[in-house]
Amino acid sequence: MLAAVCDCVDPDIIIVTETKLDNSVYSSEFLSANYNAHRLDRNINGGGVMVAIRNSYTIEEVAIDQVKCEFICIRIAIQKSSPLYVAAYYRPPDETADQLDNFETALEQLQSKLKAKPHY
């Protein structure tokens, strides 16, 4: 179904939360070969995040260390411009507010990386 939507809409970037995927499901099973998918899976019962970017872009996953939340960040190189950062975050509805603190920690790590290396 996602592949059909992508064929119709033709997006450059796709952000999905609560993917409900685990490592037994390949991105090629639901996504066109025109995209690079970066996923942080949980399980088939819920959770998980994905950022998929059209193959024509130069991308790099930004490593965020030891964060206990479902968060993924991708750096997209833009010609003659600063890079674009795209992130996905998912907070399960039954989680405590501590998850928001973990999300804040992830954003702080990202901000620190950008301050240390502005065009990282």
pLDDT at 11: 92
Q: What is the pLDDT of residue 85?
A: 93
Q: Where are the domains of the chain?
A: 2-116
Q: What is the pLDDT of residue 39?
A: 93
d(CA 56, CA 63): 22
Return the exposure string of 101-110: e unless at least 16 CB atoms fall within 10 Å of the residue's CB, then b: ebbebbbebb
- Match 């490592």 to its residue by tokens: 23
Local structure of residue 94 (DSSP, 8 states) = T
Predicted local confidence at residue 1, as pLDDT? 66
The secondary structure element, H or E, covering residue 21 is: none
Nearest to 37 by CA among 115, 113, 23: 23
Q: What's the half-sphere exposure (Cβ side, CA atoms, 13 Å) at 11? A: 14
* pLDDT given at position 93: 84
Contact 71, 40 (CB under 8 A): yes
Under CATH, domain 2-116 is a member of which superfamily? Endonuclease/exonuclease/phosphatase (3.60.10.10)
Tell me, what's the pLDDT at 120?
A: 57
Residues of the chain with pLDDT under 70: 1, 118-120
Where are the strands (E) in 18-118, listed by range?
35-40, 49-54, 59-62, 70-76, 84-90
